[in-house]
């Protein structure tokens, strides 16, 4: 009697377990298929960048090339000047990241740690800019750049791009520095470290994760930026970035589709790889922004 | 670590400094503080505050952006914008875009976040990466990819549709005013979906596991747990996600500019592309003379509308939350 009951309940447990396994397998299957389908446009661009022109038009939905036309990349890099655009984009991205990190970490540190006359005013100004209607401000910026003779240079893009992320970065660094224990700074000061040494030698190295978060955010925004480089390089085509170059390429000669696909891969691949390596910083930064 | 620094401080504590020295030290600290702030403030004032103030001035002039503005028109620009039917149409498109993209994204993102939040699910972060990836891609480049994709495999879809007798003729997906906005919306949903997924996952992770366990012990089913625990606990984060999503969709520019440039026949013109075309001219559909004053007026008017809209939004959400809280209190009092 009891033996039967035990057997029955064991059978029920097994059935429950196997049902759960089926559900779990089905979930994985759906997520994997759904996820890969979600990225279909990217796979399609990658595959099409290696197709011949004929195959590009005949293969339709199929992203797989029959044989690999690596020459598309060579052509895009040299003839369509994507090599030059790549270098421009890289310089703008590195410059913007560097400027943003230095400027926002310093400001965030001061706002988090020191009391000085005018601090409230400064904080108020910074927060107010979040709520002011950002009108169509590109024209006055354009005008300003013209007057300081920075127009048609990569610097103009770097400075304006960095300024657009300055408030966000400062707030992130401020929050991070506020959460660091004061003891370390006190100890450093007792050991004779000045204001500068305390910041550059101790506090900045301690904020490594936040440097990665702000740096990655800025890098992605700068690399993908379209509007600013579009407007600031209207007069100098050789300063175009990848996104702007591609946009212009459609307008100039809208025939070479496979070359254009190679261009999209050249543009998208670096930032996707960078993201895959550093994604936890990016995701943590986003999550922190909502939870506050 | 903390304890060590404590003892060291006790050992090395300097003798109390004379008043003069401490004052000088404080002055130096102020000086450094200002120096550290200066670069940030310069960038902020030069490229964010000044342009906002300056473009307010432009709204009063008719100006093509070259030289100094000279033709004063007063509030004429605002009058012209208010009477421009294309402005209202582009505003309508912006609202339609937001009204479809936001709810679809939020519902899908919440559903997927609930699946991925399961602790027993392996590879959850891998799946999250798959669905998040479009976020890090450039909207402009995605526009190019979609344009190529639609112009090419649009044919495959057309063949299928014609075989099914759903349509008689070829559909030019991005060139047909009836379909272009739909394509833009679909791509928009795809492109920024990942943000909402990550936000919801972050929100779900703040709900303590004990709550779920307690509910399960009390015999609550999945639906009851979702309605009684997940939804109420997500409300605060949910409001933030909603507001961020709405603000984000109103800013739409890159995608539309590259995909359709606002055409065909202004059928996908959103406010930001409308303003861009006013300021720089050169739409496909019309060769208007660039007018920076008009563009500035349009963007200020749009900014004001957005402020009014967000104030209304905040007020409505607050009263809803308050009414709910009051209702719950009344219920609590009765039981």
pLDDT per position as a tens digit, B79-117: 888 888 889 999 999 999 999 999 999 999 999 999 998
Distance CA A166, CA A131 (A): 15
Query: Which has more pLDDT, B327 or B80?
Result: B80
pLDDT over 70 at A30, yes or no: yes
Chain B nearest CA to A183, separation (Å): 7
For range A251-267, the mean pLDDT: 80
For residue B50, pLDDT over 80 is answered with yes
**Residue of B203, B213, B274 lying closest to B233 (CA atoms):** B203
pLDDT of B3 > 50? The answer is no
B66 versus A181: which is more confidently predicted? A181
Measured between alpha carbons, how far is B261 from B263 in angstroms, rounded to an integer? 6
Q: Is the pLDDT of residue A37 over 80?
A: yes
Distances (CA, A) of A6 to A11, A13, A15, A153, A286: 9, 10, 14, 80, 51
pLDDT at A277 over 70: yes
Q: Is the pLDDT of residue B172 over 60?
A: yes
How far the first Cα of chain A sits from its last, in Å, is 59
In the stretch 72-101 of chain A, residues with CB closer than 8 A to chain B read: none
Is B87 near chain A, with CB under 8 Å?
Answer: no
Residue B1 scores a pLDDT above 60: no
Identify the closest residue of chain A to B159 by CA–CA distance: A60
Range with the largest mean pLDDT of A93-102, A237-246, B118-127, B142-151: A93-102
pLDDT at A34: 92
pLDDT, tens digit, for every residue of B10-27?
Answer: 444 455 556 777 788 778
Average pLDDT over residues B317-323: 76
| pLDDT surpasses 90 at A158 | yes
Please state, in angstroms and rounded to a whole number, the distance separating the CA atoms of residues B67 and B195: 42
Minimal Cα distance from A35: which residue of B?
Answer: B130
A291:B203 CB<8 A: yes
Task: Enumerate residues 39 to 58 of chain A having a beta carbon within 8 A of any beta carbon in chain B.
Answer: 39, 41-42, 44-45, 48, 56-57
- In contact, A139 and B56? CB cutoff 8 Å: no
Beta B61-62 vs B71-72: how paired, if at all? antiparallel
| CA closest to B305 among chain A residues | A133
In A67-89, which positions are buried (b, 16+ CB within 10 angstroms) versus exposed (e)? Answer: eebeebbebbbeebbbebbbebb
Looking at residue A173, its pLDDT comes to: 92
Is A242:B141 a contact under the CB 8 Å cutoff?
yes
> Searching chain A, which residue's CA lies closest to the CA of residue B49?
A129
| Per-residue model confidence (pLDDT) at position B111 | 93
pLDDT above 70 coverage of chain A, percent: 91
Segments of A30-180 assigned E as strands: none
Which band of pLDDT confidence, cut at 50, 70 and 90, is reported for residue A142?
Answer: confident
Higher-pLDDT residue of B204 and B71 is B204
Domain B85-267 falls under CATH 1.10.3720.10: yes
Q: How confident is the model at residue B6 (pLDDT cuts 50, 70, 90)?
A: very low
Q: What's the fold here for domain A77-291?
A: MetI-like fold (1.10.3720)
Q: A209 is written with which tokens?
A: 């994760």
How close, in Å, is residue A77 to chain B by CA atoms? 16
| Predicted local distance difference test score (pLDDT) of residue A131 | 62
Reported ipTM: 0.83
Separation CA B301–CA B64 (nearest Å): 19
What integer is the mean pLDDT of A258-281?
Answer: 89
The confidence band for A135, taking pLDDT boundaries of 50, 70 and 90, is: low
For residues A82-92, give the mean pLDDT. Answer: 93
Peptide bond into B264 cis (omega under 30): yes
Which of B23, B43, B242 would best serve as a mutation to test chain A binding (most A beta carbons within 10 A)?
Answer: B43
């Amino acid at each position: 009697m009891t033996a039967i009951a035990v057997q029955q309940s064991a059978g029920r447990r097994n059935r429950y377990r196997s049902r759960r396994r089926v559900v779990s397998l089905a979930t994985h299957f759906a997520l994997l298929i759904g996820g890969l389908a979600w990225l279909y446009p990217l796979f399609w661009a990658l595959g099409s960048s290696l197709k011949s022109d004929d195959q590009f038009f005949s293969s339709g939905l199929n992203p797989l090339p029959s044989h690999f036309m690596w020459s598309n990349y060579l052509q895009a890099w040299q003839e369509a000047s994507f090599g030059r655009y790549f270098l421009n984009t890289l310089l703008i991205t590195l410059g913007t990241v560097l400027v943003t990190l230095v400027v926002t970490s310093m400001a965030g540190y001061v706002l988090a740690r020191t009391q000085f006359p005018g601090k409230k005013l400064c904080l108020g100004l910074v927060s107010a800019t979040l709520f002011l209607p950002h009108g169509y401000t590109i024209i006055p910026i354009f005008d300003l750049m013209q007057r300081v003779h920075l127009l048609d240079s990569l610097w103009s893009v770097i400075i304006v791009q960095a300024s657009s992320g300055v408030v966000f970065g400062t707030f992130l660094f401020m929050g991070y520095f506020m959460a660091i224990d004061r003891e370390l700074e006190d100890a450093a000061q007792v050991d004779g470290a000045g204001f500068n040494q305390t910041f550059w030698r101790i506090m900045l190295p301690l904020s490594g994760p936040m440097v990665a978060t702000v740096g990655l955010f800025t890098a992605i925004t700068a690399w993908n930026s379209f509007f600013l480089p579009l407007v600031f390089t209207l007069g100098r085509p050789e300063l175009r970035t990848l996104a702007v170059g591609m946009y212009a390429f459609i307008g100039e000669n809208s025939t070479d589709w496979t070359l254009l696909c190679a261009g999209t891969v050249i543009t998208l691949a670096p930032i996707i790889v960078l993201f895959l390596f550093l994604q936890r910083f990016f995701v943590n930064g986003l999550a922190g922004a909502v939870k506050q | 670590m903390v304890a060590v620094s404590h003892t060291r401080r006790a050992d090395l504590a300097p003798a109390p400094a004379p008043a003069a020295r401490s004052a000088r030290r404080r002055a130096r600290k102020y000086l450094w503080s200002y120096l550290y702030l200066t670069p940030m403030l310069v960038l902020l004032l030069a490229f964010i505050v000044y342009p906002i103030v300056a473009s307010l001035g432009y709204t009063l002039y008719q100006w093509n952006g070259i030289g100094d503005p000279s033709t004063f028109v007063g509030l004429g620009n605002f009058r012209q914008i208010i009477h421009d039917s294309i402005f209202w149409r582009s505003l309508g498109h912006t609202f339609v875009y937001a009204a479809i993209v936001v709810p679809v994204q939020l519902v899908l993102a919440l559903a997927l976040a609930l699946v991925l939040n399961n602790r027993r699910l392996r590879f959850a972060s891998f799946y999250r990466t798959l669905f998040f990836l479009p976020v890090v891609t450039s909207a402009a480049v995605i526009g190019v990819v979609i344009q190529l994709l639609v112009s090419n495999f649009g044919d495959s879809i057309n063949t299928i549709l014609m075989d099914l007798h759903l349509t008689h003729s070829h559909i030019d997906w991005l060139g047909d005013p009836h379909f272009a906005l739909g394509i833009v919306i679909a791509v928009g949903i795809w492109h920024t979906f990942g943000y909402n997924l990550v936000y919801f996952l972050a929100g779900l992770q703040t709900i303590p596991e004990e709550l779920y366990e307690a509910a399960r012990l009390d015999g609550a089913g999945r639906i009851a747990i979702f309605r009684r625990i997940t939804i109420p606990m997500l409300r605060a984060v949910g409001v933030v996600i909603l507001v961020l999503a709405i603000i984000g969709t109103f800013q739409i520019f890159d995608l539309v500019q590259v995909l359709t440039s606002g055409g065909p026949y202004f059928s996908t013109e959103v406010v930001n592309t409308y303003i861009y075309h006013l300021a720089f001219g050169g739409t496909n559909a019309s060769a208007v003379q660039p007018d920076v004053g008009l563009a500035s007026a349009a963007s200020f008017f749009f900014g004001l509308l957005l402020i009014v809209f967000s104030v209304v939004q905040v007020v409505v959400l607050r009263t809803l939350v308050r009414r709910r809280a009051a209702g719950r209190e009344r219920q609590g009092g009765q039981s």
